[in-house]
Amino acid sequence: MGSAESSHGSTDKEFVEFDHWLYGAVLGTGYTQKAVSKGLDAGLYDQYLRGHYTPIRAATAQSYEDPIDLQMIHPVRGNREVLLSRITRGPPDEAGRPTFANHTVVGRIEPLKTGAITLESIYRALGEFDRRDPDVAGEMPLLRVPVRSEAQRQLPFGTGIHRHLTFPAVETLATRIMADPASRTLLLCRNTTPEARNATLNLVFELLCWGCGLPILTAISETPRSSAMNFFNLVVAPRGVRADSSWAILESALAEPVLPRVMDRDDVYQKLTATVRQSPDLAAAR
């Protein structure tokens, strides 16, 4: 079997281009690959999403009203790419039942780690693509993501995270990951919107993985169905759920760290402190 590495996409002064594919319901067929960028063999990446392309909870799946706009992140073996998925509602099927769509980008890590683009800018480009061509099928063009300005690239990873998590919560999550990279954490963000949880996931991921060099997490910005929970290491959720003993619940409003710091990782804690407690708007408010 071939290696899962995209050979397409390019970077110029204005845009970064990425391979991507769309998975969803097709009338008379069921759930399948609906569209793919030219030359991409999406099947090489199926192993990372198999069994949870659309891990929607039953209560949400049966509703026609609850908004669905969640994000998933999956590292690809080799650590040169990451799969970024946006899950939304699809058109009703032939019986009028709700369906869901997964639009996934094969993201090269290099332009993300340099700050040329952000996770938020990729997801925004996905949303714009879906709105521009909601009925796309078959072959589709590469996804184009605008490159950030030099001034924007100078902002530290995780800037603004203090609006979503307390410093003790960020520190505890980092400590948990450093102590056990395979740990599973449900980050409890009470009374939050899907948009806020998406932003929380992006900022946490960029700060810990790009800014602090911690292992790339498999993550989702909403509670998945119970059978899909253990596909993830980090779940950003509005409420607690039943899960096995491998999971720990971490309150986003935590007042004090609950784990002892990992020895010889002062560099990580200094980075967290500089980002969370020395944010420009916090400094201006003092």
Contacts (Cβ under 8 Å, ≥6 apart) of 259: 172, 175, 176, 179
DSSP 40: -
Segment 184-192 shows an average pLDDT of: 95
Looking at the predicted structure, is the pLDDT value of residue 128 above 80?
yes
- pLDDT grade for 28, boundaries at 50, 70 and 90: confident
149 plus 166 within the same structural domain: no
For residue 5, tell me if it sits in a domain: no
Verify that 180 and 243 share a domain, yes or no. yes
Please state, in angstroms and as integers, the Cα–Cα distance from residue 40 to each residue in 19, 61, 142, 180, following that order.
Answer: 7, 30, 10, 34
Domain-terminating residue out of 135, 153, 171: 153
The pTM assigned to this predicted structure is 0.90
Q: State the pLDDT at residue 10.
A: 56
pLDDT at residue 284 tops 90:
no
Residue 9 belongs to some domain of the structure: no
Task: Give the residue among 273, 231, 255, 250 at the shortest CA–CA distance from 49.
Answer: 231
Which ranges constitute the DSSP H helices of 140-193? 150-153, 167-179
Band (pLDDT 50/70/90 cuts) for residue 278 is low
Pair (31, 99) in one structural domain: yes
- In which domain, by residue range, is 117 found? 15-153
Question: Has residue 142 got a pLDDT over 60?
Answer: yes
Same domain for 106 and 56: yes
Smallest CA-to-CA distance from 82 within 116, 118, 57, 56 is with 118
Q: Is the pLDDT of residue 283 over 70?
A: no
pLDDT at 282 > cutoff 50:
no
Residue 97 confidence class, pLDDT cut points 50, 70, 90? confident
What letter would DSSP give residue 122?
H
pLDDT tens for 242-256 read: 778 889 999 999 999
**CA dihedral (231, 21, 75, 254) positive or negative:** negative
> Is residue 7 assigned to a domain?
no
Higher pLDDT, 160 or 2: 160
pLDDT of residue 189: 96
Domain count, the chain: 2
DSSP designation for 226: G
Residue 280's SS3 state is helix
Q: How confident is the model at residue 154 (pLDDT cuts 50, 70, 90)?
A: confident
Segment 132-142 shows an average pLDDT of 90
pLDDT band per the 50, 70, 90 thresholds, residue 264? very high
Per-residue pLDDT reduced to its tens digit, 215-234: 999 999 999 988 899 999 99
Q: 86 and 63, same structural domain?
A: yes
Under the banding of pLDDT at 50, 70 and 90, the label for residue 1 is very low
For residues 12-26, average pLDDT? 89
Q: Is residue 8 part of a domain?
A: no
Residues of the chain above pLDDT 90, percent: 69
Residue closest to 258 by CA, chosen among 135, 190, 166, 144: 166
